[in-house]
Chain A
Amino acid sequence: MARIELKNIRKSFGLVDVIKGVDLEIHSGEFMVFVGPSGCGKSTLLRLMAGLEDITSGEMYFDGQLVNALAPSRRGIAMVFQSYALYPHMTVYENMAFGMQLAKSDKDAIKERVEKAAEMLQIGQYLARLPKQLSGGQRQRVAIGRAIVRDPKVFLFDEPLSNLDAALRVATRLEIAKLHHQMNNTTMVYVTHDQVEAMTLADRICVLRDGMIEQVGTPLELYQNPQSLFVAGFIGSPKMNFLNGEIASKFGATTIGVRSEDIDITDREGAWKGKVIHSENLGSDSYTYVDIGTDEPVIVREDGTSKHAPDDAISIAPQPGRVYRFDQAGKPLKN
């Protein structure tokens, strides 16, 4: 249970400013995801919260207590690293018990907590093994287990799924979502560059760009009301279609954005005429890439399978009221 407040947090490495003044409040028990392209400072921000890096200026509070100078182990945090960071020479049990042993906890208490965490993550049968005898997914579960044993107020995840293959990533994502439901008193902060992870896990998402917060909100808020061109382009898969120039000026904007599911294949008035480049059939839905003379092809989503062959002539049009309009600065224009 911890409410986290960041007040004008800055971080510089030498002359390079990585975090350029971040104000953010994370509610108690919330699952907050930091997302952004690589180099945007999201991991650095997480490490500032962990205490692994010193804050250059600004203030950070956990439950109203200033933690700027507090050692990581005294902040009530636990962290899961991208590379698992298990102690290679210790068994799974010893890995999970290490923190409590250092805190000189009672042996029986340690055993009880480790076994409970192991049961939660279904790694009970591996307690006597060494990390190198486990698969990647199991190792990451051990790393999560080690964090659970610490009974943290704040749970920090630094891209925990990036080292796993696609199938395991989905399964472990589900584990983490379940964990959040089970530990609903624990504040969780999760860093990823994968917007799908962000959308599926987060209570709220914080989009970072170049050391600054671009937008904070629930996944649907970000999806439906992006406050900038950057957020509009970053959230959602496939990426939002952006159109400039003449097409956009007809809508009274510098740039317009249309999501692939908001485009119809239709011959109605004002439709964009183009040529099919390629169709991707995923079974339940399909994506067609259409060249209408813009730099990037426009992606159109259809239910079911698509019947378009390459080079077919096609007309497409955005659904009325589903067009996002942006001005020159990339800020949204009110409809």
Chain B
Amino acid sequence: MTMDLWAITKRVAFYALVIFIVVVAVFPFYYAILTSFKSGTDLFRVTYLPTSFSLDNYSAVLNVGDFPRNVLNSVFVAAVTVLLALFLAITASFALSRVRFRGRGIILMTILAVSMFPQIAVLAGLFEVIRFLGIYNTPWALIFSYTIFTLPFTVWVLTTFMRDLPIEIEEAAIVDGATPWVIITKVFMPLMWPALVTTGLLAFIGAWNEFLFALTFTSSNATRTVPVAIALLSGGTQHEIPWGAIMAASVIVTVPLVILVLIFQRKIISGLTAGGVKG
């Protein structure tokens, strides 16, 4: 009998802990969604269950100012960053995993080292480079800087993944008359979908949520991306912070990510483990 009691207690304790963790993790998002549907003075009453429902905040965000434009900017910047990073990373990882040359190990270590610098450390230098290239206050400034920060991780993951692809398959393709480019596109890429989806999605999320570079390298409302736009949303007066609009905007920009992750989640899981274990 006492055994049963102990087992039940353990169970209850376990689920209590699970619920506690879930609540703590999810609450901020829940509260944001809840707040986004409130309007007027409701906003400042603390409630934990939906009390009123209004879409005023959403229409305000979408119809006033440059917010739709900012969303498009974000989509453009994130998408181009992903494509550019994947293209460079695939070709680089082919060289790093398959071509024997002097200094390969050093290059790999350097790539890893680059990713350890905090953003703020390179901000000033990067700003100079961007001014020099003449892409300040354009989406290309962001694409450029995000690609730099995404590439180390992407290259590293894809290199590990490509190293595990059997060398005989590549040799069979060479005998069949394939050039390196054909080997990459027709033989390796189809085998690397899980890794490409994983790294691509992480690059997308990184670019989508990035704030510091986006704030520094853009100056006009029309070129800003969503995170900066949300932070700079202003109300009717200087002293009014439009919480409702901010929450609505946050929900709007989170939804695409949630959808993307849900679509690709199975690939992500297989991708994250694929490089480590011989499969």
Which residues of A come within 8 Å of B, CB atoms?
50, 52, 71-74, 77-79, 81-89, 98-99, 102-103, 146, 150
Q: Which residues of the other chain, A, contact B175 by a CB distance below 8 angstroms?
A: 50, 52, 72-73, 77-79, 99, 150
B174 touches A89 (CB 8 A): no
Interface of A is mostly: loop
A-B contact pairs, 29 of them (CB 8 A): A52-B171, A52-B174, A72-B174, A73-B174, A73-B176, A73-B177, A74-B177, A79-B172, A79-B175, A81-B171, A82-B168, A83-B166, A85-B168, A86-B169, A86-B172, A87-B169, A87-B172, A87-B187, A88-B169, A89-B191, A98-B173, A98-B176, A98-B178, A98-B186, A99-B177, A102-B177, A103-B177, A146-B172, A150-B176
- Given A81-B168, A83-B168, A89 contacting B176 (CB threshold 8 A): no
Q: How far is the CA of A78 from the CA of B172 in the complex (A)?
A: 9
B166 touches A85 (CB 8 A): yes
Q: Which residues of the other chain, B, contact A89 by a CB distance below 8 angstroms?
A: 190-191
A81 touches B178 (CB 8 A): no
Q: How far is the CA of A168 from the CA of B237 in the complex (A)?
A: 83
Q: Which residue of A lies closest to B168 (CB)?
A: A85
| Number of residues of chain B lying within 8 A (CB) of chain A | 16
Q: Which residues of the other chain, B, contact A84 by a CB distance below 8 angstroms?
A: 168
- Best-surrounded residue of B171, B173, B175 (most CB of chain A within 10 A): B175
Q: Which residue of B lies closest to A98 (CB)?
A: B176
Which residues of B come within 8 Å of A, CB atoms?
166, 168-169, 171-178, 182, 186-187, 190-191
Q: Which residues of the other chain, B, contact A85 by a CB distance below 8 angstroms?
A: 166, 168-169, 171-172
Q: How far is the CA of A73 from the CA of B171 in the complex (A)?
A: 11
Query: A92: shortest Cβ distance to chain B, in Å?
Result: 14
Q: Which residues of the other chain, B, contact A103 by a CB distance below 8 angstroms?
A: 177
Q: Which residue of B lies closest to A158 (CB)?
A: B168
Query: A178: shortest Cβ distance to chain B, in Å?
Result: 23
Q: How far is the CA of A103 from the CA of B168 in the complex (A)?
A: 20
Query: B205: shortest Cβ distance to chain A, in Å?
Result: 27
B172 touches A102 (CB 8 A): no
Q: Which residues of the other chain, B, contact A150 by a CB distance below 8 angstroms?
A: 175-176
Q: How far is the CA of A202 from the CA of B166 in the complex (A)?
A: 30
Query: B107: shortest Cβ distance to chain A, in Å?
Result: 20
A102 touches B178 (CB 8 A): yes
B176 touches A99 (CB 8 A): yes
